[in-house]
Each structure stands twice: as C-alpha cells, then as structure tokens.
Amino acid sequence: MKFGWAHSCCSASALERALSDDGVRNIETDIIMSSQTDDVPVMAHPPSTHSDFSFEDFMTRAAGTSKGLKLDFKDRAAVRPCLERVAQDRLKLAWSGQSVWLNADVLAGPGMTPDAVSIDPNEFISQCQHLYPEGILSLGWKVDLGRTGLCYTAAHCAEMRELLTRHGLVDQRSIGPGGGGGDGFTLSPAA
C-alpha cells in the first residue's frame, strides 16, 4: 500500500501534479488569509501573504478524489471559513473515502515562546470538533527551524497531553506521531 505525500500544494499546478500522480496518496497544503482580498482563505505558506489559488478552488478540485487531504492552517482567521467549506463537501469526502487531516501548530515548541503561536489551541480543537468532527486532528508545536540542537522536552509533551486531556481526546481517540512530515500528535476519529 502506498502512502506517498505531496507537500505544499499551494498552487493549482502543484495540486494537479499531485492529483495525477499515482504514487501520491495524500496532499498537504498550507492555508492563510489573503492580505489582498478580505475574508478569503488562500493556499500559501508564510512568509507569503497572498496567493491566486483560493481554498474554494482547492476544495473544488480536490474533494471527491481518492487522495487524503492535510489542511495545514497557518492563520487562525482561516480556520472557521475553511472548516465550514470542508463540511459542505462532507458527503462527497465520505463517499470517496477521503481522509481530511486538520493540522495546526498550537503550542510553543523548542526555541519558541507562547506569543509566537498564532492559533489558539482550545479554539482550534473546539472549531474542528464542532464544524468537522470527521477530521483527523494533527496538532503540532511551532518550532524555531533556524536553530540547531533544540529538542522537545518532557514539559512540551506534558503540555500537549494536558491539552488533549482537557478536550477529552486522550481516552477517546488513538494518539500517535504526527503524520505527513510534521511534528506533533495525530488524533484519529473515534471508531
């Protein structure tokens, strides 16, 4: 069984390549709010602040295919409108057997302070549970990629476990290493 990932599919051409590649089983994309168009989630990875590829366009092309989707939220304002849009395709996603990973860096990791985290962990989990509970939560730590020699500590893991426990996720779902090349915990939907 193949589990290949296409990372950072933030353009129509990158998405089309991933959709046509039989070796790709899962597509990861990054989501921000456009700096040029109010209230429009677009596909881009910071430091980019705009893209001509909207989340609407992404979902129109990707929903209903055989590829799993990993939505990597980089901007808290993009979470609600994107989850509402994914929920519109609930039946299409279920019918095609597509998994949808809901990813965000919600805690400060090695080399970072809590003020560097732009997505509130409680708000993110609550919105995911309420708007698209079928999604697979993929929660991570924001880390300083520019510094070497940094390690996760027991305190990082304890903070994540406390967050998961607070939201009732530890006993209800399986927890494992983050998928799709990211750091974090992955929470599968309850069986």
pLDDT higher at 145 or 126 = 126
* pLDDT bracket for residue 3 (50, 70, 90): low
pLDDT higher at 174 or 171 = 171
Which two three-digit tokens encode residue 176? 């494992």
CA–CA separation, 120 vs 174, rounded Å? 22
pLDDT on residue 187: 53
Report strand pairing: 24-33 vs 4-6: parallel
Block residue for tokens 């779902």: 173
Average pLDDT, the chain: 89
Average pLDDT (70-79) is 97
pLDDT on residue 27: 98
Classify residue 176 by its DSSP letter: E
pLDDT on residue 2: 55
* Cβ contact 171:139 at 8 Å: no
In tens, the pLDDT along 13-64 reads 999 999 999 999 999 999 999 988 878 999 999 988 889 899 999 999 999 9
| Strand ranges (E), 80-123 | 100-108
* Cβ contact 68:25 at 8 Å: yes
* Cβ contact 70:40 at 8 Å: no
Looking at the predicted structure, is the pLDDT value of residue 146 above 90? no
Looking at the predicted structure, is the pLDDT value of residue 181 above 90? no
pLDDT on residue 173: 45
pLDDT on residue 186: 54
This prediction's pTM: 0.88
Looking at the predicted structure, is the pLDDT value of residue 178 above 70? no
Closest by CA position to 72, among listed 9, 133, 18, 23: 9
